Amino acid sequence: MILRPKNMVSHKKLKREFIMAKQEGYRSKLQELVARDWDVEAIAARSRRLIEQGIPKKTLSKAEILANKAEILDRVQRRGEEYEYLSHS
């Protein structure tokens, strides 16, 4: 028998709370994606251009990357969501 202080939370309870928080995050992201105005023509044109010409090469310095990190990550995330949307429509 394991004795725990009364204020200690069980592993199962923490795991359950973590899963519920993740599910809530998924729900809110799903609502955001459903509400988004998808510009299908622009997404399709960008996709065709990538297929025909490949991924354009960009060389950014470390300083430029770090200065624009949040913007770069947001753009990559958004493009991924757009291409995923296009693949299912």
Which DSSP symbol is given to 60?
Answer: -
The answer to whether the predicted template modeling score (pTM) of the entire model surpasses 0.85 is: no
Q: What CA–CA distance (Å, rounded) separates 78 from 36?
A: 11
Residue by residue, pLDDT tens for the chain (89 residues) are 565 566 666 778 888 888 888 899 899 999 999 999 999 999 999 999 999 999 989 899 999 999 999 999 999 999 999 999 999 87
Q: Hey, is 4 helix, strand or coil? A: coil
Q: Where are the domains of the chain?
A: 11-88
How far is residue 49's CA from residue 31's CA, in Å, rounded to a whole number? 29
